[in-house]
Structure 1
Amino acid sequence: MQELETFKLIERISSLLRSEERKKYAAIGLQPVHGQVLEYLGKCNKYSDTHAAVAEYLGLTKGTVSQTIQILERKHYLEKNTSSLDGRVVHLSLTESGQKLIDELKPLDVFKNAEAKVSAHEFDSIGQALQTTLMVLQKVNQSKSFGLCRSCSFFSVEENHYLCGLTQQALDRDDTEKICREHTPAPNSFIDQE
């Protein structure tokens, strides 16, 4: 059961980071896949800077990679160079503006801020560390927490029944184990510190 909770936390953190990534790339007219291709090309060696290698590394189709590379080339973020050893091989390389773009957009500022807040603390379990990381990321990103009802600051037990302090409505036991859009994390001195 703990493994499933850990997986869910990792999945939620990943979703939050992907959402932030999509916003940043959309602001400059790109998709996250474009950034992934640029990042890969910024790290790979001369044997791995081809269309086929990009497709294999990112798990994309050749068509998707081809379209992505065309867009990035039109925007002057990468360039193609035919191999001097084999004219059938095309090598891809970042332009100066392509390198500048990945330097500006990665790592995500939201993750750097959260990492700085979390790294100074010791945790009893990976689940506790991930939960805290998620909550800090949500706060830094100003996004809703969508947490479990029973972990909300509005959750209470009144006269042997569960109550939502926000709506002033009684809750079934099943409700307390479900995700709520109105979730507000319970006060936590670590997370609330600026």
Structure 2
Amino acid sequence: MALRHAVLAALLAGDGSDGDDSGEYSGYQLAKAFDIGVANFWHALPQQLYAELAKLEKEGLVAGRHVVQETRPNKRMFRVTRAGLAEFEAFAAATPKASFIRDDLMVKVQAADSVDTGPVIEQLEERAALAEAKIELFGKVLRKMRGELDEEEFLRRGDRIGPYLTCLRGLALERENRDWGLRVAAVLRERRTDEAR
């Protein structure tokens, strides 16, 4: 997958909740939406998103329009074009590559028998705390998306099911990150204590 597909997916999932047309985001709104949703499976910095929007617009896969604002700086709003939708449909139909984990902290844990685990334990606990914060954020986002519906009813008949389903995966991932981080930190701490005796 290329960043272009992640950006197109984020634009296609736009809901217009900020008062703008459905499926249309400013670069800033896209970065915010990306951070909450797409970033769970595709990381990009805001400047990378802006650069990719410019490329997509040049290729005719997104269209941008200039919006004049009186009390704030002017902005550009972007939406996916028919060509962009065709590009994304071709991507959606292609067989995906297998996913894999690439994580510096797991590399450190792998070598736990050979290094001082004190800093690793701290990093595991920090990661668990960050995961807990994201769990709370995902919970709020999911409740907002569902509105008055309970989850099962929303899954049967709610709008914007794609973003909801990817948020559910992000929630599950962060719960796993938290639980794994806390367990590994506890195991390493106990082993340090035993070795110190």
Please give the range of the TM-score, normalised by the shorter of the 2 chains: 0.3 to 0.5
**Structure with a larger share of its residues in helix:** 2
TM-score normalized by the length of structure 1: 0.37
TM-score, normalisation: structure 2: 0.36
